[in-house]
């Protein structure tokens, strides 16, 4: 099976890194042709499956510009960073309505939104210098902040997360987190920590959450996940045995699901669980795994 | 060929995540059996290829404890975080002497050091709350800091970096950065940004630095890189053509090297470049690629 395209990938804008380092050239691009992403807070305006844009003339006077990139016609596409307010200082939530809207976006459109959302949200939560506590200012066309006092440069975070299924005897280990939608089961996941590889993080997380030891960890796919700014790294691992010891602080339940039942659920047939949504890489991961061993 | 084990992986300590959330249980582990990593700043004390440890009784009075993990005898292994000083507020440098020392460490020992170094260095550069600018305090046994004023929780950064070779007609694209040791060429690399997948970051970086378009990006291996705290994600990609357009801000030179010459250099024979050191994942990546197509 060809690899399904993971959600939030396939963005069409050229990030134009060189422009971030060249204020004069950037300024020349911010002319009447430049397009401003329409946002209400961090919620996009979606029309017929596409993000809505307006003229950069609509940029609020007090806003700063974040360069998202150039389109095929060399037009700058930007997002507006508004001054600090009470909002946005904690990670912005994703509402069911937002997720439904994102599911309607064409491939690539969600990717553009993901980049904009992650960077805007990072600015909102990183107005101060972690090294000395002073104020900072935006630089590099929005792809960093610099301290006003000690000049330390800070860059947007991307937090790597491993997301994986253990497999044993043709079955996949799926888990269920607290507060998830009724019946939803998915791949286990957790943040990768300093000092470990992807493969080590996968083995540690499966053992911590389900008490299962895995080896032969295999990379499958990746996606950005803009809630707030993760890199999801999807893998499989082969379990030594199928005894589950649940960490009830992390999971409400976990179970082994045979491949044919995973296939059936992904095909929309009834089964023992509700699948993760198509834009989540857990869906990609399960699809790839389910198609194997045919 | 079996995958060579990447440098800075294979650590033997159990990170014991549950202890981080249980101060009482953690305290009980910090008894006379607990071991303290010997460090001079961020430089380890190495004896016969192993990290040197001492009794936790030697913990300086003003130091805080970072739990590195438990060994097979259930003994806590910790590192000491000293109070803020002038040092440590910028990313610590890696000296040639340190890299030579690390190259002598047994597999797994360098992994333990990598985790300790990355976390200690993160604390040193993140004493203040990026959200509000206030002071923060260490929590979760050293695997986070919490703001004293707004209570925001902050966790150590891990910055994903893609490192990759483009391949074209049996040749690998290798580049040379400014200030590198004489003759050294290696895989291209760059930070992954918010809103992109591993595969997209690989394609973007190769195009930015060398003007080469790639597709069919394939994951090969990963490693932690504690300078200061990266996750190196090694990949290959297939180049559309072999015309190089160098970004001289990023690279001093780049060239296509045939597979047999890469093999020769890795085997210690003379060739057109000096290979990256074995503990760097670029070495692993080149070794895997060189062994293909035989």
pLDDT band at A1; cut points 50, 70, 90? low
Q: What is the pLDDT of residue B96?
A: 82
Per-residue pLDDT, averaged over A196-202, amounts to 98
On whether any CB of chain A is under 8 Å from the CB of B204, the answer is yes
Q: What is the CATH number of the domain that holds B69?
A: 3.90.79.20
> How many percent of chain B have pLDDT more than 70?
96
**What kind and span of H or E run contains B120?**
helix B109-125
Per-residue pLDDT, averaged over A143-152, amounts to 98
Per-residue pLDDT, averaged over B178-192, amounts to 96
Q: What is the pLDDT of residue A63?
A: 96
How far apart CA B104 and CA A293 sit, in angstroms, is 43
> B128 and B196: one domain?
no
Tokens at residue A174, please? Answer: 């799926």
Tokens 């040092």 found at = B87
Q: What pLDDT, in 10s, does the model give residues B246-282? A: 999 999 999 999 999 999 999 999 999 999 999 999 9
Contact between chains at B112 and A223 (C-beta distance less than 8 A): no
Domain-embedded: residue A216: yes
> A179 and A285: one domain?
yes
Per-residue pLDDT, averaged over B89-98, amounts to 70
Residue A196 vs residue A102, higher pLDDT:
A196
Q: What is the pLDDT of residue B92?
A: 61
Question: Where in the sequence is the domain holding B123, given as residue range(s)?
Answer: 17-154
DSSP tag of A4: P
> A144 and A235: one domain?
no
Angle between helices A259-266 and A281-291 (to 10 degrees): 130
Q: What pLDDT, in 10s, does the model give residues A206-235? A: 999 999 999 999 999 999 999 999 999 999
Q: Is the pLDDT of residue B230 over 90?
A: yes
End-to-end CA distance of chain A: 11
How far apart CA A222 and CA B197 sit, in angstroms, is 5
> A110 and A173: one domain?
no
The angle at the Cα of B135, spanning B193 to A88, to the nearest 5 degrees, equals 45
How far apart CA B187 and CA B206 sit, in angstroms, is 10
Q: Is the pLDDT of residue B88 over 80?
A: no
- Among B122, B154, B186, identify where a domain stops: B154
**What kind and span of H or E run contains B224?**
strand B214-225
> A175 and A67: one domain?
no
Q: What is the pLDDT of residue A95?
A: 82
Q: What pLDDT, in 10s, does the model give residues A153-189? A: 999 999 999 999 999 999 999 999 999 999 999 999 9
Q: Is the pLDDT of residue B141 over 80?
A: yes
Tokens at residue A265, please? Answer: 């659920």
Tokens at residue A257, please? Answer: 């699901």
Spatial neighbors of A115 by CB under 8 A, at least 6 apart, are A11, A68, A224, A226, B193, B194, B195, B196
In this complex, which of B21, B128, B231 lies closest to A132 when CB atoms are compared? Answer: B128
Q: Which CB contacts under 8 angstroms, 24+ apart, belong to A262-266?
A: A262/A172, A262/A286, A262/A289, A262/A290, A263/A290, A263/A291, A266/A290
Tokens at residue A38, please? Answer: 């329409």
Q: Is the pLDDT of residue A246 over 60?
A: yes
Per-residue pLDDT, averaged over A69-80, amounts to 98
- Among A105, A123, A154, identify where a domain stops: A154
Whether omega before A171 lies within 30 degrees of 0, making that bond cis, reads: no
Tokens at residue B261, please? Answer: 């010459």
pLDDT band at B137; cut points 50, 70, 90? very high
Q: What is the pLDDT of residue B294?
A: 58
ipTM of the complex: 0.96
Spatial neighbors of B153 by CB under 8 A, at least 6 apart, are B139, B144, B145, B146, B147
> B277 and B213: one domain?
yes
Residue whose C-alpha is closest to residue A243's, from A176, A157, A168: A168
Per-residue pLDDT, averaged over A242-269, amounts to 96
Q: Is the pLDDT of residue B90 over 70?
A: no
Chain A residue numbers with beta carbons less than 8 Å from the beta carbon of B90 are 152
Q: What is the pLDDT of residue A85?
A: 63
On whether any CB of chain B is under 8 Å from the CB of A79, the answer is no
> A128 and A193: one domain?
no
Chain A residue numbers with beta carbons less than 8 Å from the beta carbon of B133 are 127-129, 133-135
Per-residue pLDDT, averaged over B91-108, amounts to 82
Domain-embedded: residue B7: no
Q: Where are the beta strands (DSSP E) in chain B?
A: 35-37, 39-40, 43-44, 46-47, 50-51, 53-55, 64-70, 76-81, 136-139, 144-147, 153-154, 159-168, 171-176, 188-191, 214-225, 230-239, 253-258
Tokens 């918010």 found at = B194
On whether any CB of chain A is under 8 Å from the CB of B225, the answer is no
């Amino acid at each position: 099976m060809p690899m399904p395209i993971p959600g939030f990938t396939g963005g069409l804008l050229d990030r134009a890194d060189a422009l971030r380092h060249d204020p004069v050239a950037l300024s020349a691009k911010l002319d009447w042709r430049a397009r401003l992403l329409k946002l209400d807070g961090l919620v996009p305006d979606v029309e017929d499956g596409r993000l809505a844009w307006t003229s950069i003339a609509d940029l609020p006077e007090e806003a700063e510009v974040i360069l998202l990139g150039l389109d095929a016609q060399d037009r700058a596409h930007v997002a507006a960073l508004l001054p600090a307010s009470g909002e946005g200082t904690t990670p912005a939530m994703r509402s069911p309505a937002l997720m439904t809207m994102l599911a309607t976006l064409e491939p690539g459109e969600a990717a553009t939104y993901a980049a904009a959302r992650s960077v805007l949200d990072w600015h909102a939560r990183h107005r101060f210098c972690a090294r000395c506590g002073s104020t900072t200012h935006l630089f590099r066309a929005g792809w960093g902040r610099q301290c006003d006092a000690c000049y330390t440069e800070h860059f947007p975070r991307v937090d790597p997360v491993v997301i994986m299924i253990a497999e044993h005897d043709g079955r996949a280990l799926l888990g269920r987190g607290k507060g998830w939608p009724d019946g939803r089961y998915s791949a286990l996941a957790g943040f990768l920590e300093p000092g470990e590889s992807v493969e080590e993080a996968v083995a540690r997380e499966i053992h911590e959450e389900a008490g299962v030891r895995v080896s032969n960890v295999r990379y499958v796919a990746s996606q950005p996940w803009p809630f707030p700014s993760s890199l999801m790294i999807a893998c499989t691992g082969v379990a030594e045995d199928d005894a589950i010891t649940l960490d009830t602080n992390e999971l409400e339940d976990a179970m082994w699901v045979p491949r044919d039942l995973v296939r059936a659920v992904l095909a929309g047939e009834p089964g023992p669980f509700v699948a993760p949504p198509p834009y989540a890489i857990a869906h990609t991961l399960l699809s790839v795994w389910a198609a194997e061993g045919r």
